[in-house]
Structure 1
Amino acid sequence: MEYSPPPLFKQGAPARVKMTLFACISIALLLADARMNALKTVRQVVGTVLYPLQMVALLPRDAIYGVGDYFSSLSSLEKQVRDLKQQQIASAQALQQAQLYNAENAQLRKLLDARERVPGKSLLAEILYDARDSSSRKIVLDRGIQQGVQLGLPVIDNQGVVGQVTRVFPFTSEVTLLTDKEQAIPVQVLRNGLRSVAYGRGQSGQLELRFVAAQQTDNVQVNDILITSGLDGVYPAGLAVARVTQVENSNGVFGRVVCQPLAGIQSHSQLLILMTPPDMPARPPEEEPFKPNKKSKAKEMAKEVQGTAAPATAAGAQPAVPGAAPAAAPATAPAARQAAAGTPAVAPPATSPAVRQVAAAPAATPPAPAQAVPPPRAAAPAAPVAARPAAHGAANDTQTR
């Protein structure tokens, strides 16, 4: 019975021989593939068969690389998103700033056009803030005494009148809007020239035409444009003021007209201050009160003496006897005669000191004969006629003395 050795202990060709054999085969295959491309098909078939095995073997590596790429790309994307958001905010701010600049540019162009249309010198000003008083309609501008701003100067924009300078500081000035309750402006309707005065209505931001006669409200219509009439000497004539929004005809004496100002400060911050007041004709000089001099006073006193001497002598006054007091009875004689004739007695006018002196002077000649009493209706004008001889006799007596 034959026993063969186990396969592990079988001895074949030596390992050196095997290595040499396989090396020669490899060299031959390399030469055949390099020279004749004989193994190209075999290589493609083997690569196709082994490709799934290669992919399965590379899965752990690809998974590790994928996880690393995921986290790195996530962080980079988050950073990119943050950068884009910041750029978007900056772009939005730049866009808003550009829009603001465009609006200001358009507003400044309109103000320049209005500046060319308005006669006289004007000053560009910017609104700083509203006044602190909430019950009034006032704003503060960045122009003051240093720039030549004065009280009472009108302030306008490209659409119409805004208000009037009511307070001036060295570097700022306060402007009261037309809608303030204490403001009023003379206006006229552009369509028919009807004149009136517009008053502010306070917080409502509107104007009102007060004391418009009921028959004149028919001449005012909705959407009528009101312009300055220039009668106040502050606002130049022809500036737009407001648009009529409501007309009410009441049963009373006056109607009610409500207007909306055309100018406004809500959409822009630049205004024009009219530095040159409107050209108005000079006012006539005031007449001084008449002051009479001493000569004219003396003439007036002489006239009064002549006028009062005539009634006193015409009443029947007789020259006084030397050394005796003047009689008072003749002074009341005309009143007694008038009472007897049925007419009311008139008190004799008071005599001046000069007349008393003439009456008290002693007469050298007999008194003039009494003349007839005139009719009652002509008692006042007849007194000077009877007084002329007596006064003339008294003057002659004084001359003879």
Structure 2
Amino acid sequence: MIEISPRFFRHSPSLLARTAFFVMLSLLLMALDSRSKYLGGVREIFSVIVYPLQKLAHMPMAMYDATSELFQHGEIAEENARLKQQHLVDKGQLLRLRALEAENTQLRKLLNTTQRIENKATVAEILRVPHDPFNRKVLLDKGSMAGIESGQVVVDDMGVVGQVTRNYPLASEVTLLTDRDHSVPVQVVRNGLRSIISGTGREGVLELRYMAINTDIQEGDVLVTSGIDGIYPAGLPVAAVSQIERNPNYIFARIICTPASGVNQNRQLLILSTRAPRTGTPAEATKTKPRPQEARRQ
């Protein structure tokens, strides 16, 4: 005789019911995990249990990567060394091209400066900057064999740099504006006020000394050479006023200026001739000079 079980035990819960049950269980666990820390230990236990399985699952990929790297290591290392060498070569060429471009730009500026200046100019390059904390000087690659003489003015494309104070056959020494023993007669472009600017021994700092506190001078005023000394041609940019201190307790104001030239940024400079340029050639002078007989007839 076959025993027939009740209908309730014959069928398991439906798929929808099981899905709803597990969804509710997941939500309950997520809520407990977010509001309490009781499930942290359970998570750690499960991570320890599952870790060997994770390693086992990733083992084929790791073995494949190791094998591929073993076969490709020599080729990759050789290619990497070649690329590094090529990168160094390209980088060196790029740096040389940039240096040549900057030098060409500087030379073009110097050529434009030469056209603006009536005096004859000689292009020279800085050979060395002596490391002397008490003197501001540079050494140029042109000397007496190139016609350079002591006292000649040195400029760049921005303004006055200094003056040749000592010359050698193949080189010349230039004392910069910032040297404490160097002074230049200047004139304020705005109102024509004349004064003398002096170096302080500090890089990029000049000073107008012995100026009364009520002197008509302002920050930003441009100073150019006045030309009254007969050495510096008139109108060359020298500096700009950057700071003025007027203290009623002192007679003179403290006026700090910034040089217009950028000797620390340029390698090429111009050495101006102290002789005035000739207006005509000797042949032209001979043609215009009357002969003694013609002079008597006249």
Alignment of 1:375-386 (within 5 A): none
Asked if 2 retains the 8 angstrom alpha-carbon contact of 1:234 and 1:278, the reply is: no
Where does residue 235 of structure 1 map in the other structure?
Answer: 232
Report what 2:221 is aligned to.
Answer: 224
1:239-294, CA deviations, whole angstroms, 9 ceiling, x for partnerless residues?
00001001122223221211000102211110000024458xxxxxxxxxxxxxxx
Letter of the 1:130 partner, please give it. Answer: V
| SS of 1:83 mapped into structure 2 | helix
Contact 2:231 2:274 in 1 (8 A): no
Equivalent residues of 1:233, 1:278 under 8 A apart:
no
Q: Give the Cα separation in 2 of the matches to 1:100 and 1:113.
A: 20
1:266 aligns with 2:264: yes
SS in 2 for 1:202: coil
Match of 2:174 in 1: 175
SS of residue paired to 1:203: coil
Q: Distance in 2 between matches of 1:180 and 1:208?
A: 11
Partner of 1:375: none
Distance 1:278 1:233 in 2: 11
Partner of 1:121: 120
Instruction: Give the aligned partner of residue 13 of structure 2.
Output: none
- Who is 1:250 aligned against? 247
What CA deviation, in whole Å up to 9, does each residue of 1:307-350 have, x standing for no partner?
A: xxxxxxxxxxxxxxxxxxxxxxxxxxxxxxxxxxxxxxxxxxxx
Alignment partner, residue 80 of structure 1: 79
- Structure 1 CA distance for aligned equivalents of residues 245 and 202 of structure 2: 21
Residue 215 of structure 1: CA displacement?
2.1
2:261 & 2:276 partners in 1: Cα distance? 20
TM-score scaled by length of structure 1: 0.51
Structure 1 residue 133: Cα displacement? 2.9
Percent identity, aligned pairs only, is 44
Report the alpha carbon displacement of residue 204 of structure 1 after superposing the two structures with TM: 4.2
TM-score (norm: length of structure 2): 0.68
- Distance, in Å, in 2 between the alignment partners of 1:132 and 1:151 is 22
For residues 127-158 of structure 1, what are the alpha-carbon distances to aligned partners after superposition, in whole Å with 9 as ceiling and x for unaligned? 01112533100000000011000000000000
CA distance in 2, matches of 1:89, 1:268: 26
CA–CA distance in structure 2, aligned partners of residues 227 and 138 of structure 1: 21
Equivalent position of 1:200 in the other structure: 199
The one-letter code of the counterpart of 1:212 is M
Residue in 2 aligned with 1:131?
Answer: 130
Tell me how far 1:72 sits from its aligned partner.
4.5
The alignment yields a C-alpha RMSD, in angstroms, of 1.8
Q: 1:278 to 1:134 in 2, by over 3 A?
A: farther
In structure 1, runs of 5+ residues without a counterpart are 1-62, 280-401
- Larger radius of gyration between Structure 1 and Structure 2: 1
The answer to which structure has the higher strand fraction is 2
Distance 1:127 1:154 in 2: 15
Gaps of 5+ in 2: 1-62, 278-298
Structure with the higher fraction of residues in helix conformation: 1
Question: Which 4+ runs in 1 deviate beyond 2 A?
Answer: 69-73, 131-134, 276-279
The one-letter code of the counterpart of 1:111 is L
* Number of the residue aligned with 1:54: none
Instruction: Flag the structure with more relative contact order, 1 or 2, with Cα contacts below 8 A and sequence separation at least 6.
Output: 2
Look up the match of 1:153.
152
Q: Deviations over 1:158-195 (max 9, x none)?
A: 00000000000110000000100000000011111110
Q: Residue 56 of structure 1 aligns with which residue?
A: none
Q: Distance in 2 between matches of 1:203 and 1:278?
A: 33
Q: State the one-letter code of the partner of 1:192.
A: N
